[in-house]
Chain A
Amino acid sequence: MAVLRPAGDFDRSYKQDMALLRRPWHYWLLGVSLLAAFTVPLWGNAYVIATVNQVAYTIIVVQGLNVLTGYTGQISLSQAAFMLVGGYASALIVTHAGLSFFIALPLAALVAGGVGLLFGLTSLRVKGFYLVFATLAAQFIIPWMSRHTFKAYLGGSNGAIEAPVPRLGGLYFGEASNFVYISLIVLVITTVLLYNISRTRLGRAFVSVRDNDLAAELLGVNLFTYKLRAFFIAALLAGVAGALKAHSQRGVGTEFGYGLNESIIYLGMLVIGGLGTNLGPFLGVAFIILLEDLSDLLGGVLAAALPELSGQLLTSFRPIFFGIALILFLIYEPRGLAHRWQLLKAGWRLRPFSR
């Protein structure tokens, strides 16, 4: 599909052609959406603020998965484990090294990235189906280690340690209404960086590994190191998201999730949003989190109507909704919501000649 532009919309330099924001209204739209997101604590209730915060850090972890699975075509089922690494690293650095959260956050990301590299080194020697199982190793080893090794530091059988509240000067980020600013700012940064990656040498190398690894190798892309870079970025972003999640929940450990279940849900979010698109993680995460809230609501209503089944109804509605949504998307829109959005835009521009 060629790029459709309104008449009179020309570029006069390659720089202009490559820019992400090309028209004045692009800037306006971006400004308005950023304003809407950053003023949430002013107009939203506690539920909205908490959801926005959760959506923000979940988008970051899914963005990481998108680099690995969407762009580079390597499936991983260990994203939640790397979140756990990031969360622990950040909590431990703040607690024991006494560093500020804002220094601990990038450090924790690097730690998670390093652990990701370690597992990537062993996993990426295999392809496809075998890779999925190799990455499962990280998803089992890391949570197990958090419970059974270094018990004094990692919380042992409690399955959790405390993650201190971030402070900056006189500012105190103990409430979701404050913390959401940190999550949103980090999300803006990761989004800009990922857009840049996807339009430059690194991003093209990732996609060439996915689309045709033989040709990529022949054109001088070192397959192994580029897969490793993708693995590193995925784990790095998982680490960032993990640190954000840990400090906004004020605790980190297997008690807070970080299991295989979460890893699978992240993959599902990415598929529903659209693999290999920058918009995909946003749409997929928002869709699934809203769907989960909807299923809780529906489950609650049904539980009230059928009290004898209430226990089962309340616990089973989330996975049922998630499963149904994933199946429907795989059948009817395997390229995800981002593709649907593209079609919608193209249709609107071609109007009235579309259809």
Chain B
Amino acid sequence: MTPERILQVEEVTLAFGGTTVLDRVEFDVRAGEIRAIIGPNGAGKTSMLNCISGFYRPQQGRLLFEGGHELTGASRVAQLGIARTFQNIGLYTHLSALENLMAARHIHMRQNMLDSALYWGRARAEEVRHRAVVEELIDFLEIAHIRKSVVGALPYGLRKRVELGRALALEPKLLLLDEPMAGMNTEEKEDMARFILDIHARRGATIVLVEHDMTLVMDIADRIVVLDFGTKIADGSPDEVRRDPEVIRAYLGEAD
């Protein structure tokens, strides 16, 4: 039995002006796996993620989510069940960690404008209900001590963790992580890797991960896509990718 494919990337080509950023890239993501996209600087990893989350619209090719839904705009991806984090952190800087996570419950809440303004009754009951969901996540990510701190003032590693929490608060089927460990020290990286593995194991989320750190990716990913200058040069398990001569050439350069 082949596992269900949650995302299919079909011959995606993306160009800005004359520069081709992605050239007929094709891969799939199976439900419940950790799928990594790696590659040297400028390989098109983040562009690929931007295509999946609907910020960029590829000139050619399609992205199919759960078989049928074509991913075309950023406004619909949340409803479909896709959440992401950003390379440079995209938190709401003036809100507290708690409010950031609550803000991600937006699409799960039913209260309208009037309910919000009147508060007592419907809105309060709903806020309490969602607060419980969010508090569970706060516990899970070990950020209880900063739940009421304004995120703009938090250190980098914690902000990354809050952002991960915000993406999880959406209860996504597919979680896109854009360099979750960029700029961290070894200890912070290991913490983050542990959280990612925990999310995968306990919440059964499908994760697509863009990352620079090869050793870490090799450790946690089930399957890896390697991009170089916008084209796919390898696709397979960590062991296969590690031995692939194309990958070695892209990362280490060619011996004369």
Contacts and interface: CB of A to CB of B under 8 A. Distances in A.
- To the question of whether A and B form a pair in one complex, the answer is yes
B60 interface: no
A218 B53 contact: yes
A324 interface: no
A205 B242 CA distance: 44
A197 B117 contact: yes
Given A205-B103, A218-B84, A212 B91 contact: yes
Nearest to A19: B124
Contacts of A30: none
Contact of A3 (B107, B118, B131, B148): B148
Given A196-B119, A211-B94, A212-B91, A219 B103 contact: yes
A5 B229 CA distance: 54
Contacts of A250: none
A342 B25 CA distance: 52
A196 B109 contact: no
Nearest to A220: B78
A219 B75 contact: no
A196 B95 contact: no
Interface in A1-34: 1-3, 13-15, 18
Contact of A211 (B54, B95, B109): B95
B99 A211 contact: no
B102 to A, nearest CB: 6
Interface string B83-95: 1101000111111
Interface string B72-85: 00110111000110
A204 B90 contact: no
A260 B159 CA distance: 42
A207 B95 contact: yes
B117 A193 contact: yes
Contacts of A214: 55, 74, 90
Given A2-B146, A212-B90, A214-B90, A14 B78 contact: no
A222 B74 CA distance: 10
Interface in A52-104: none
B233 interface: no
A215 interface: yes
Contacts of A215: 86, 90-92
A197 B117 CA distance: 5
B150 A204 contact: no
Contacts of A15: 124, 128
A92 B113 CA distance: 28
Contacts of A18: 124, 127-128, 131
Contact of B75 (A197, A201, A222): A222
Interface in A190-236: 193-194, 196-197, 199-205, 207-208, 210-212, 214-223, 229
B69 interface: no
A276 interface: yes
The size bracket of the interface on B is 35 or more
Contact of B131 (A14, A193, A212): A14
Contacts, number: 115
Interface in B103-159: 103-107, 109, 111, 113, 115-119, 123-124, 126-128, 131-132, 135, 146, 148-150, 153
A1 B90 CA distance: 19
Interface residues of A, number: 35
B155 to A, nearest CB: 14
A218 B166 CA distance: 12
Contacts of A204: 95, 99, 102-103, 106
A212 B95 CA distance: 11
A219 B170 CA distance: 7
A212 B88 CA distance: 12
B121 to A, nearest CB: 11
A325 B103 CA distance: 36
Contacts of B54: 218
Contacts of A229: 113
Interface string A165-203: 000000000000000000000000000011011011111
B80 to A, nearest CB: 10
Given A201-B106, A208-B103, A214-B55, A14 B93 contact: no
Interface in B160-207: 166, 170
A219 B116 contact: no
B92 to A, nearest CB: 4
Nearest to A275: B94
21 contacts: A3-B148, A14-B127, A193-B117, A196-B117, A196-B119, A201-B109, A201-B123, A201-B127, A202-B116, A204-B103, A205-B106, A208-B95, A208-B103, A211-B91, A214-B74, A214-B90, A217-B74, A217-B75, A219-B107, A220-B170, A223-B75
A-B CB proximity, top 7 nearest: A220-B78, A196-B119, A220-B107, A202-B116, A211-B92, A215-B90, A200-B116
Interface of B: 53-55, 74-75, 77-79, 83-84, 86, 90-95, 99, 102-107, 109, 111, 113, 115-119, 123-124, 126-128, 131-132, 135, 146, 148-150, 153, 166, 170
Given A14-B131, A18-B127, A218-B55, 18 more contacts: A1-B149, A2-B148, A14-B135, A194-B117, A197-B116, A197-B117, A199-B119, A200-B115, A204-B95, A204-B103, A208-B106, A211-B94, A212-B91, A216-B103, A218-B77, A218-B78, A219-B107, A219-B166
Interface of A: 1-3, 13-15, 18, 193-194, 196-197, 199-205, 207-208, 210-212, 214-223, 229, 276
